[in-house]
A and B are shown apart, each in its own frame.
Chain A
Amino acid sequence: MRHRLGYLIGFLAVILCLAPGLIFAASQELADKQVWRWGHHTSDLTSLDPAFSVEDMTYSAGNGVFNGLVRVRPGTLDFDNLEGDLAESWEISKDGLVYTFRLRKGVQWHKGYGEFTAEDVKYTFDRLKNPKLGSPYGAKFLAIDSVKVVDKYTVQIILKKPNTFFIMNQAFAYQAGMIVCKKQGEEKGLKNLGLYVIGTGPFMVENYKAKEKITFVRNPNYFRGAPTIERLEMFFMPNVASRTMAFIKGDLDAIYGERDTYWVEDVKKTKTVIVDSVPLGSGCAIHFNMTKKPLDNIKVRKALAIATDRKAFKQYFGAVWHEMTAPVPPSYYAALPKEKTPKELLYEYDLEKAKKLLAEAGYPKGFKLMGYITDKPYYKSIMEICQELWKPLGVQLEIKGVDHTTFHANIRKDMNDVVVYYAGRAPVADSYLTQYYFSKAVIGKPTAVTNFSHYGDVDADGDGKVDSVDSLIIAARGEMNREKQRQLYYEAQLEILKDMPAKPLHELTKVLVRHNWFDPGVEIKGSMIFGYPLEKARILKH
């Protein structure tokens, strides 16, 4: 009897031990239909041509169609361990001017467009450089002097000046760095390739329906092996309520979520939902227009910076909020860490100190400021919070709400006293500093990008000399020693903080949301795109 009882207990113990494994095994079984349905937050897309992919949805959708020369490992932002994409390996000459890429052999373009070769790489970069194409990324590629086809599978890119960030900034599997098909480009002529593009990636464009969806089918000849997912359906769903409901119902496997802590907590209540709130995020700063009085006075800007309490934004954005204390967002390469920043340059909240600074500057009773702002909530809320935070200083911020297109046009006409701006850029300090604090990027110039504060063109600290970090940025870009280079970027960021042309506020992460039956095939620690990596992804039975 005792033996029987022992056997029974043993049998039950074995069953109990195996049960989770059995359940796990069942949940790992593939669904019969390998169709991935994704809800995106924009109302449409315009072009999948990498040279014109400027919107979140556009370059994210195109990500599965194309490959670059080099890429970050899917699901990570591990920039120290990049891997070859269309390039098998690469070398950089000692002077930092020549990049030699050895390409994969036998990679085929979609739909019978032939084999990928070095000619396609040359065509891609020459096309981007051509001013007649008018690519918004064009200026960035002018750093290339020439592209030389060494043989069918070897290509050399020669730069005008050494730039250690060439791979991460230009030759990367991201946005314009994707390699396009020369044959298709020549068929279409020197213009936007549109939506039905030819790539080498795991998915091929199948059909596009304006304002509704775009579909892709798997590439059976993909060089890393055909993906498990047979078909992608990406729906354009700008309304958050219906996008969320369709997702909760299970009509969508994954969606792009909202950068809103209440929304995130709410969707998490559904048991099957997994939220991947990951970098690469968008950095946000409030830029002070130093050509406008009284913002030309450094004490005034410092007073406003000190009165702008970062915690107020933390409270508003919650889980997707990450503190940004330097001009470069914290997840970017060579961002100045908080612990390396002197306390006085963190500009932490201190109302009394702010009042004192303003009185010293000759504005004890405050002044009026004006700013146009877009109706996008994560922009508008910044202005509204600043409006409240600055009231105790007597600073009245007049907010003029306009639509997104008008906002972009107005801030480039220097119409704002203060500009709230978010951006995700190539994940290196160089991209951020060049676009926001380099003198050539000052708005109003032919080379303008997004330098709204006019930093680099004006006397920021009141000593009668123009303050600029141009030389530091240029020196850092060409520095081959990583540690020295990092120090140069730190130095530039400290200088910027001293002159306070803009108060860095926060970096908001991407909010990717999925059901547990969608397995991306890799751990999601970060994402360059507004979506998931799909080449190893699969749909599980549910």
Chain B
Amino acid sequence: MTTFIIRRLLLAIPTILVVITVVFFAVRGLGGDPAMAILGDRANPEALEVLRERLGLNQPLWKQYTSFLWDLTRGDLGRDLRTDQPVSELFRRAVPYTVDLAIWATVIGILIGVPAGILAALKWNTPLDFVGRFLGIFGFSFPAFYLSIILLFIFSLVLGWFPMIGGGELSNWVERARHLFLPALSLGLIKSAFVMRLTRSSMLNVLHEDYITTARSKGLKEWVVIYKHALRNSLIPVVTMISVYMAVTIGGSIEVEIVFNRPGLGKFLIGAIQERNYPVIQSGLVVLTVFIMLVNLITDLSYAFIDPRIKYD
């Protein structure tokens, strides 16, 4: 297991390097001028030049690239072009909001999606299954930001149960949870549609296997057949897809963070892209890459717990 983890972590290095390189050159290919974005439309070329010089944007591209890499190896994510604040400091505050959202949206997605998927598979081709399938397609095609606005309207504006502004203080867990509930529910409900559809189809495949028929013919109780024999075998593709879907969840979190005014990573990234704030975009995407790779690693490790036949030696 330890060897496997070390091997995976080492393999992550070239992947991150590729991501950094692609992101570095891609953001510069977007067009637009960071100096213009900072100084506005009144700045004359002279003022723009002074700022470009100060920000190091006039340096050759290879020099900017190597210095970014060198800084990164020392754990320096650079400075925000607009506010001159260290990016690492900004992210230290922003990342917990995004991680909270991604994790709890996934938890909600699993808690709703897995039982609903099992139920739909067990009641295959019944009205219950049809309703489940309809809700699955409906939820899957529903934009997260729109659901966020609806939830905000019902639970915050009309009922007044949840706050509307910000993400709450990180040190105050109750406040943090109250601010998290609706955004996590918005993303989680959409994710549950995806998980439900996946669990249903995976369960249906397994339920038609011979060993399920054997288990039933042995006289095992139905819940043992479902839980011990069918569910555990059908979970592996579900877990894989949940982890793959994590990137989509993070993408969705950008819209949700803007609607709920959460000062998370998504809000930083979208602003940085609009402003061509290179250090924030580059470092933000590196942080997200590392996060997704960690999720993938945890997913791979979880296979061993779900299926005892899988061993990492």
A78 at the interface (CB under 8 A from B): no
Write out, one digit per residue, whether chain B residues 177-221 have a CB within 8 A of any chain A CB (1) or not (0): 000000000000000000000000000000000000000000000
Q: Can you list 13 A-B pairs, Cβ within 8 angstroms, ordered by A?
A: A55-B40, A131-B46, A134-B48, A138-B44, A195-B83, A209-B263, A242-B164, A245-B152, A249-B157, A252-B165, A405-B274, A448-B44, A449-B44
In the assembled complex, the CB of A117 is this many whole angstroms from the nearest CB of chain B, namely 28
A246 at the interface (CB under 8 A from B): yes
Q: A136-B43, A194-B83 known; A239 and B274 CB under 8 Å?
A: no
Measured CB to CB, the nearest residue on chain A to B53 is: A134
Q: A43-B267, A237-B165 known; A242 and B41 CB under 8 Å?
A: no
A423 and B44 within 8 A (CB): no
A213 at the interface (CB under 8 A from B): yes
In the assembled complex, the CB of A250 is this many whole angstroms from the nearest CB of chain B, namely 10
A242 and B152 within 8 A (CB): yes
A368 at the interface (CB under 8 A from B): no
Further contacts, 11 of them, CB under 8 A, given A136-B40, A137-B42, A249-B164: A46-B38, A54-B41, A133-B50, A210-B83, A211-B271, A212-B166, A239-B258, A249-B156, A409-B33, A446-B44, A449-B44
B37 and A405 within 8 A (CB): yes
Measured CB to CB, the nearest residue on chain B to A411 is: B41
* Chain A residues, Cβ within 8 Å of B24: none
* Chain A residues, Cβ within 8 Å of B260: 242
Measured CB to CB, the nearest residue on chain A to B45 is: A446
In the assembled complex, the CB of B196 is this many whole angstroms from the nearest CB of chain A, namely 28
Q: A139-B46, A408-B41, A446-B46 known; A134 and B165 CB under 8 Å?
A: no
Q: A210-B90, A245-B157 known; A405 and B54 CB under 8 Å?
A: no
B292 at the interface (CB under 8 A from A): no
| Cα(A423)–Cα(B42), bound, Å | 10
* Chain A residues, Cβ within 8 Å of B258: 43, 238-239
The 9 closest A-B pairs by CB, nearest first: A134-B50, A54-B40, A136-B43, A405-B32, A212-B263, A136-B39, A211-B263, A46-B82, A246-B164
Measured CB to CB, the nearest residue on chain B to A39 is: B165
| Cα(A409)–Cα(B40), bound, Å | 11
Write out, one digit per residue, whether chain B residues 142-162 have a CB within 8 A of any chain A CB (1) or not (0): 000000010011001100100
* Chain B residues, Cβ within 8 Å of A43: 258, 267, 270-271
A14 at the interface (CB under 8 A from B): no
B167 at the interface (CB under 8 A from A): yes
A212 and B167 within 8 A (CB): yes
| Cα(A252)–Cα(B261), bound, Å | 13
Write out, one digit per residue, whether chain B residues 249-264 have a CB within 8 A of any chain A CB (1) or not (0): 0000000001111010
A134 and B47 within 8 A (CB): yes
Which B residues, 14 to 53, have Cβ-Cβ distances below 8 Å to chain A?
30-33, 36-51
B54 and A134 within 8 A (CB): yes
In the assembled complex, the CB of B280 is this many whole angstroms from the nearest CB of chain A, namely 10
Measured CB to CB, the nearest residue on chain A to B89 is: A210
* Chain A residues, Cβ within 8 Å of B276: 405
A132 at the interface (CB under 8 A from B): yes
| Cα(A136)–Cα(B85), bound, Å | 21
Q: A211-B267, A406-B30 known; A134 and B259 CB under 8 Å?
A: no
* Chain B residues, Cβ within 8 Å of A450: 41-42
A251 at the interface (CB under 8 A from B): yes
B84 at the interface (CB under 8 A from A): yes
* Chain A residues, Cβ within 8 Å of B31: 402, 405-406, 409-410
Q: A47-B82, A210-B85, A249-B157 known; A435 and B42 CB under 8 Å?
A: yes
Measured CB to CB, the nearest residue on chain B to A233 is: B165
B94 at the interface (CB under 8 A from A): yes
A485 at the interface (CB under 8 A from B): no
B165 and A235 within 8 A (CB): yes
A131 and B263 within 8 A (CB): no
* Chain B residues, Cβ within 8 Å of A238: 258
Which B residues, 256 to 309, have Cβ-Cβ distances below 8 Å to chain A?
258-261, 263, 267-268, 270-271, 273-276
* Chain B residues, Cβ within 8 Å of A192: 84
Residues of B contacting A: mostly: helix
| Cα(A131)–Cα(B49), bound, Å | 10
| Cα(A246)–Cα(B157), bound, Å | 7
| Cα(A246)–Cα(B36), bound, Å | 33
* Chain A residues, Cβ within 8 Å of B39: 52, 54, 134, 136
* Chain A residues, Cβ within 8 Å of B232: none
| Cα(A405)–Cα(B48), bound, Å | 14
Partner of A406, one of B32, B47, B85, B152: B32
A241 at the interface (CB under 8 A from B): yes
| Cα(A454)–Cα(B224), bound, Å | 80
Which A residues, 192 to 239, have Cβ-Cβ distances below 8 Å to chain B?
192, 194-195, 209-213, 235-239
A541 at the interface (CB under 8 A from B): no
* Chain B residues, Cβ within 8 Å of A137: 42
* Chain B residues, Cβ within 8 Å of A252: 165
B123 at the interface (CB under 8 A from A): no
In the assembled complex, the CB of A272 is this many whole angstroms from the nearest CB of chain B, namely 15
B93 at the interface (CB under 8 A from A): yes
B83 and A138 within 8 A (CB): no
| Cα(A467)–Cα(B271), bound, Å | 42
Q: A46-B38, A136-B42 known; A241 and B259 CB under 8 Å?
A: yes
Measured CB to CB, the nearest residue on chain A to B33 is: A409
* Chain A residues, Cβ within 8 Å of B47: 131, 134-136, 138-139
| Cα(A46)–Cα(B51), bound, Å | 15
B93 and A209 within 8 A (CB): yes
| Cα(A54)–Cα(B51), bound, Å | 14
| Cα(A235)–Cα(B259), bound, Å | 13
